[in-house]
């Protein structure tokens, strides 16, 4: 679970003084955590993938199959499949084969992770 931006300490600024050396790097996000959080954000920082998430979310059962999603976003089938793979690998979707079709379902807990990043 990628953690959020560090704890907020409401220290009212007493600025106007010197500049460099006033920074406390201890409470801030570390590099690995920033890397993990950025990777999750990259998965949703794309208009097509946002549309896909929104489409699935507005569907009954919070799931949809590729044959419905492809015409809805107006891109080629391989492209849609690629975006769904990215979202799945990010943990935001689960894939399930039902007969000939592949159904994708939201992972609410992972969406909560996203919402938690910025409080």
Partner DNA sequence: ACTCGATATTGACAAACATCGATGCAGGCG
Partner DNA sequence: CGCCTGCATCGATGTTTGTCAATATCGAGT
Residue 8 engages its own copies in binding (rule: CB under 8 A): yes
Q: Is 1 in the site for its own copies (CB under 8 A)?
A: no
CB closer to DNA, 4 vs 102: 102
SS3 label, residue 68: helix
Residue 96 CA to residue 70 CA, distance in Å, equals: 17
**Residue 73 C-beta: closest distance to its own copies, Å:** 8
Q: What share of the chain is helix, strand, coil (3-state, %, to 5)?
A: 50, 15, 40
Strands 63-65, 93-98: pairing kind? unpaired
Are 118 and 105 in contact, with CB atoms under 8 Å apart?
A: no
Kindly state whether residue 88 participates in binding its own copies, applying the rule CB under 8 A: no
Binding mask 9-48 for its own copies (x = CB under 8 A): x-xxxxxx--xxxxxxx-xxx-x--xx-xx--xx-xxxxx
- Rounded distance between C-alpha atoms, residue 70 and residue 41, angstroms: 23
Under the rule (CB under 8 A), what is the footprint of its own copies? Answer: 5-9, 11-16, 19-25, 27-29, 31, 34-35, 37-38, 41-42, 44-51, 53-55, 57-65, 67-69, 72, 98, 101, 103, 111-112, 114-115, 117-119
């Amino acid at each position: 679970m990628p953690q959020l931006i560090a704890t907020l300490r409401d220290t009212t600024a007493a600025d106007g003084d010197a500049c460099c050396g006033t920074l406390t790097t201890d409470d801030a996000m570390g590099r690995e955590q920033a890397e993990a959080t950025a990777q999750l954000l990259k998965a949703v920082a794309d208009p097509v993938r946002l549309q896909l998430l929104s489409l699935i979310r507005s569907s009954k059962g919070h799931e949809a199959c590729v044959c419905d999603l492809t015409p809805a976003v107006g891109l080629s089938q391989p492209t849609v499949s690629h975006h769904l793979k990215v979202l799945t690998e990010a943990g935001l979707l689960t894939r399930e084969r039902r007969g000939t079709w592949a159904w994708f379902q939201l992972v609410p807990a992972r969406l909560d992770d996203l919402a938690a990043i910025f409080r």
